[in-house]
């Protein structure tokens, strides 16, 4: 599917302390992404704290986001759950409401085998009818998709893309080349891990699944377009300007940092769901200095 290319921007899902979605704040975030003309919006990803939300609140978030986009930007929705039947429900909800695709991770408490993950994914794709993006997120799930498992899943109807974790920039080129050999033609290969996104795009990745893109879409989109047009010098230049943000991501986690960015830029005021704590006052002051230095490069 063509929309699984370019910049997929992942916003936070603002809620109150009881986990009820702040509709006005969410719509404001979505409106910014539509105005920036990102290629897709990744709603209810890890940055969107989907695992902390009830089914009703996930549905509320999807409804409001789709209403705000008015068809202008495709919505990729996180549908992960511990239980396969719950993931089927979440994926079916997303399809019924109008999402373009679902993002599915191998979420677990008990460690899973490759066969268990294969069955989980095949069941969700088959029973929901929602196109599925494989979410390889070993940092959070402690499960890593092997090349053999990716090849098996890539042959299934309804599984059309993978979101890789770009935790090692020096490994991206080789991994990407190998994945292209084992997945069907047209299967989209993308990466998260914002600080390695430039190298992934230059190596030929289709999509950047971006945390920062969900709150500061403009510089991220410029970086993507530069890479797509073969202007690697410009892509590296923009990446270098964002390096202080990448360091904050690594130090404090991207989730905590983007919540603080939303507050500092007066986009919305929300805290991550507990037990996750927001940035400390000292860290927030450090972030404010970084944003000030970025200045007009931040965009709208």
- What end-to-end distance do the CA atoms of the chain give, in Å? 28
Q: What is the pLDDT of residues 195-254, one digit of tens each?
A: 999 999 999 999 999 999 999 999 999 999 999 999 999 999 999 999 999 999 999 999
Give the count of domains, the chain.
1
Annotated active-site residue 135? The verdict is: yes
Residue from 50, 90, 95, 163 carrying the catalytic annotation? 163
Check which CATH number belongs to the domain holding 90 and give it: 3.20.20.70
150 falls within a domain:
yes
35 falls within a domain:
yes
178 falls within a domain:
yes
Annotated active-site residue 185? The verdict is: no
Residue from 50, 90, 95, 135 carrying the catalytic annotation? 135
What is the share, in percent, of the chain residues with pLDDT greater than 70? Answer: 98
pLDDT at 300: 41
222 falls within a domain:
yes
User: What is the span of the domain harbouring residue 161?
Assistant: 6-229
Residues annotated within the binding site are 47
Residue 1, beta-bridge partner list: none
pLDDT at 166: 81
Q: What is the pTM of this model?
A: 0.96
189 falls within a domain:
yes
pLDDT at 169: 75
* For residues 1-23, average pLDDT: 93
CA distance 52 to 58: 10
123 falls within a domain:
yes
Q: What is the pLDDT of residues 43-78, one digit of tens each?
A: 999 999 999 999 999 999 999 999 999 999 999 999
Residues annotated within the binding site for pyruvate are 47
274 falls within a domain:
no
269 falls within a domain:
no
**Which class for 70: exposed (0-12), middle (13-18), buried (19 or more C-beta within 10 A)?**
exposed
- Provide the 3-class DSSP secondary structure of residue 288: helix
What are the Cα distances from residue 192, in Å, to 68, 136, 139, 162? 25, 9, 12, 10
């Amino acid at each position: 599917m063509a929309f699984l290319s370019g910049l997929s921007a992942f916003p936070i899902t603002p809620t109150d302390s009881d986990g009820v979605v702040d509709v006005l704040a969410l719509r404001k975030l979505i409106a910014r992404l539509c105005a920036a003309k990102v290629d897709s919006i990744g709603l209810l990803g890890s940055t969107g704290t989907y695992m902390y939300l009830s089914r009703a609140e996930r549905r509320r978030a999807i409804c409001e986001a789709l209403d705000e986009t008015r068809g202008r930007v495709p919505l990729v929705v996180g549908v992960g759950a511990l239980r396969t039947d719950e993931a089927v429900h979440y994926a079916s909800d997303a399809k019924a409401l109008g999402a373009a695709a679902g993002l599915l991770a191998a979420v677990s408490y008990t460690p899973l085998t490759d066969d268990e993950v294969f069955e989980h994914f095949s069941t969700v794709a088959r029973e929901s009818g929602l196109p599925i993006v494989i979410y390889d997120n070993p940092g959070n799930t402690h499960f890593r998709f092997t090349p053999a498992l990716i090849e098996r899943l890539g042959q299934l109807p309804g599984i059309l893309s993978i979101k890789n974790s770009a935790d090692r920039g020096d490994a991206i080129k080789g991994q990407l080349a190998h994945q292209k050999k084992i997945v069907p033609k047209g299967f989209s290969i993308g990466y998260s891990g914002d600080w390695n996104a430039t190298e992934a795009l230059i190596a030929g990745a289709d999509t950047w699944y971006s945390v920062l893109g969900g709150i500061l879409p403009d510089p991220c989109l410029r970086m993507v377009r530069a890479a797509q047009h073969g202007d690697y010098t410009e892509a590296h230049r923009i990446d270098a300007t964002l390096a202080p943000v990448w360091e904050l991501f690594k130090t404090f986690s991207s989730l905590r940092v983007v919540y603080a960015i939303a507050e500092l830029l007066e986009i919305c005021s929300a805290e991550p769901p507990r037990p996750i704590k927001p940035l400390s006052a000292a860290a927030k002051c450090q972030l404010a200095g970084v944003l000030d230095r970025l200045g007009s490069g931040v965009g709208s």
